[in-house]
Chain A
Amino acid sequence: MKFRTLGRHIKEGFKSLGRNGWMSFASISAVTVTLLLVGVFLVLLLNINAIASQIEDDVEIRVYLEKTSEEPQHQELQQQLEGIEEVSSVKYVPKEEGLQELIDSLGDEGKVFQSLEDENPLPDAFAVKTERPQDTPLVADEIETLDYVSEVRYGQGTVERLFKITDTARNVGLVLIVGLLFTAMFLIANTIKITIVSRGTEIEIMKLVGATNGFIRWPFFVEGILLGVLGSLIPIGILIFAYQFIYEAVSMNLNTILFQLLPVYPLMFQLAGLLVIIGAFIGVWGSMTSVRKFLKV
């Protein structure tokens, strides 16, 4: 193919978009609506995932030591703890530090405990984290059987429920996205198909005057990309605007450190890139599969 022919195909792709005005509009709208939905769910899913990870990362096992145990025994236990396969970190928390943490976490009410500083009721402890937060209950059970351990705490019950919720949220989100993507592909491809079917004679005539299949395909390829890319612009715009707004609102008002949304950038760059690519891919796929039927004259 000559270089100027490529230029011709690109120009034809653009022109054809204009010539088939309403059909192009229909296709672009289909892309716009579905990509908006895909985008919204994608942002939701990514945030749910991020928040779930934040929460899960906070889970740790507190291993309280028998008050009668001594320094060498503590070291022996620490080695045993570190030897457990699923464990990622073990930190020694002397009782003074444990009490301070407790006071801090209770805020104003914690001041009551300050008087206890002299006769600290807490035992010394180890803070244990696992590689995968989901392993916490298992590892906790194992630790409980070790010597010199008086008590093991990790928020029994609550943690199991937490994991169930985060796992469900992730799975539901993923299923939704995949389902939505497939629906989008078929909806858009069908709309494009309809616009191209109405151009069957056009393709037939091209063939009869001696156009090669490649020559016929190119402008449709360009057109497919254009439909997809143009269709992704509005969703991208809306998503960036809306997410920025929500992000600011959340970080201003909910002054909690409980969870944090993903920062606007680079998330929005990645999302924009992804939507443009999905749009172009679906557009090309739709127009190529439709053209193929007519190339057999």
Chain B
Amino acid sequence: MIEMHDVWKTYPNGVMALNGIDIHIEKGEFVYVVGPSGAGKSTFIKCMYRQEKPTKGNIIINGRSLIKVKERHIPFVRRQVGVVFQDFKLLPKLSVYENVAFALEVIEESPKVIRKRVMEVLDLVGLKNKARFLPDELSGGEQQRVSIARSIVNKPPVLIADEPTGNLDPETAWGIMDVFEEIGTRGTTIVMATHNKEIVNTVKKRVIAIDGGRISRDELRGNYGYEI
């Protein structure tokens, strides 16, 4: 489902964030990406939905190359990938409902389908009764759940998340993790960069460790593996 072939990324300021990444992630897999701060995890994630373009190498998602794609086709590749951001990236002036519906309006779904799908995912993340709220009126954990709802509402085959539990207290973090597991059981491929040792060591999944822009470890049912 996700393939990276010899991916390199050097930022314009000369920082070499990724130095030859090769990876193969199967459909339906749940993968943690771990590593020390500055290791290149976010860069790795950003390359997967073309927020950053690799300097070298190829990335293939669901059979489509992210590198050879024409500029104007990028939006269509992005629709294959749901993204959960650490800082949520919700539109502050739109209600919870509108924020989630937005991802469907973009692909020109019919209003009827939009209504149905949005209420379904809001139900899934447990926010059905707060659909009319503005993001500012929600707690951090709730905002993160809106962000998750938006990322999956158009049923993308791949879901990626950069530290989705980073700013949340342990209990809320576990709530978010439950939602991810639920989404994972439906066949979505999930890639999640995280610093949450407890979650990684408890809910055993494949662990890819990145250090200095290289893959230092790749284990099925792995551990977090190092102290923060």
Contacts and interface: CB of A to CB of B under 8 A. Distances in A.
Contacts of B129: none
A80 to B, nearest CB: 73
A297 B75 CA distance: 11
A8 B72 contact: no
A204 B46 CA distance: 14
Interface stretch (A51-59, A178-186, A207-215): A207-215
Contacts of B102: 206, 209
A205 interface: yes
Contacts of A215: 75, 106
Nearest to B98: A15
A210 B51 contact: no
A210 B108 contact: no
Interface residues of B, number: 22
A210 B110 contact: no
B93 A205 contact: no
What secondary structure prevails in chain B residues at the interface with A? Answer: loop
A201 B90 CA distance: 9
Nearest to B106: A211
Contacts of B106: 206, 209-212, 215
A208 B111 CA distance: 22
Contact of A201 (B49, B89, B154): B89
Given A2-B108, A8-B105, A208 B79 contact: no
Contacts of B89: 201, 204-205, 208
A73 interface: no
Given A202-B91, A215-B106, A210 B79 contact: yes
Contact of A4 (B78, B83, B110): B110
B76 interface: yes
Nearest to B88: A205
Contacts of B76: 210
Contact of A212 (B51, B72, B83, B93): B72
A204 B87 CA distance: 13
What secondary structure prevails in chain A residues at the interface with B? Answer: helix
Contact of A208 (B49, B72, B93, B108): B49
B195 interface: no
Contacts of A1: 108
Interface string A18-49: 01100000000000000000000000000000
Contacts of A4: 108, 110-111
B78 A208 contact: yes
A236 B110 CA distance: 40
A19 B134 CA distance: 12
A210 B75 contact: yes
Interface in A173-202: 201-202
B107 interface: yes
Contact of A205 (B49, B79, B91, B111): B91
A211 B91 CA distance: 14
B134 to A, nearest CB: 11
A156 interface: no
A185 to B, nearest CB: 28
B103 A210 contact: yes
Given A8-B105, A297-B51, A210 B91 contact: no
A5 B103 contact: no
Contacts of B111: 4
B41 interface: no
Given A4-B110, A209-B83, A297-B51, 13 more contacts: A1-B108, A4-B111, A5-B105, A204-B89, A205-B91, A206-B106, A207-B75, A207-B78, A209-B79, A210-B107, A211-B75, A211-B106, A212-B72
7 contacts: A5-B108, A8-B105, A204-B89, A208-B49, A208-B83, A209-B83, A211-B75
Interface of A: 1-2, 4-5, 8, 19-20, 201-202, 204-213, 215, 297
A-B pairs with lowest CB-CB distance, top 6:
A210-B79, A210-B78, A211-B106, A19-B93, A212-B75, A209-B103
